Amino acid sequence: MQNLVIILAVILAFGNNQESALSRVRSLYQKAPNEEGAAKDLLRFTNDFDEGNPVLLGYNGAAHMMMAKHVVNPFSKMSHFNKGKKIYKNAILSAPENIELRFLRFAVQSEAPGFLGYKENITEDKKFLMDEVLTLKDQELRKLILDYLLASKSMSAGEKIILKEKSN
């Protein structure tokens, strides 16, 4: 009986650590486009996780891509972007129906300059997000995705109206 209690405590503690880690990552992710320090923190924090967690791996890829915005050297920019793209591709291949990964890909592709040619999944991810976001039980993630979609230049005015009506 005592072993069962210890096992349950470890499971609960691990679950809470995962949730708090994910919450911290999401917070850094929101700041990273405008704050180089947050982008570096996001990169450092997500480097500590192995490939066993596709969502954290996806955030690591997104962090590399955001670092490209903050460095000056064109070679460093491309290096960060390409490394992030490769990491992100592996993450999404391991969990293609994960809404958080699809959101990250949509956001990265929406913000990527056109000359990089990294925009091929915007339409499919937008549809997936619009169909699934309101079914999310995770309120923090739901708000993150809804806020982004409603502000995104990749969403039409009509799509934003539909999303607002569905979310009320």
pLDDT in tens, 77-115: 999 999 999 998 999 999 999 999 999 999 999 999 999
pLDDT in tens, 139-168: 999 999 999 999 999 999 999 999 999 888
- Cα–Cα distance between 126 and 131 in angstroms, integer? 9
Please tell me the predicted confidence (pLDDT) of residue 105.
96
Please tell me the predicted confidence (pLDDT) of residue 48.
75
Please tell me the predicted confidence (pLDDT) of residue 52.
78
- Cα–Cα distance between 141 and 167 in angstroms, integer? 14
My answer on whether 90 and 40 are in the same domain is: yes
My answer on whether 69 and 10 are in the same domain is: yes
My answer on whether 29 and 72 are in the same domain is: yes
The token duo for 44 is 């450092």
CB atoms under 10 Å from CB of 144, counted, come to 20
> How many structural domains are present in the chain?
2
pLDDT in tens, 13-44: 334 456 688 999 999 999 999 999 999 999 99
Please tell me the predicted confidence (pLDDT) of residue 167.
87
Assign 34 to helix, strand or coil: coil
My answer on whether 8 and 47 are in the same domain is: yes
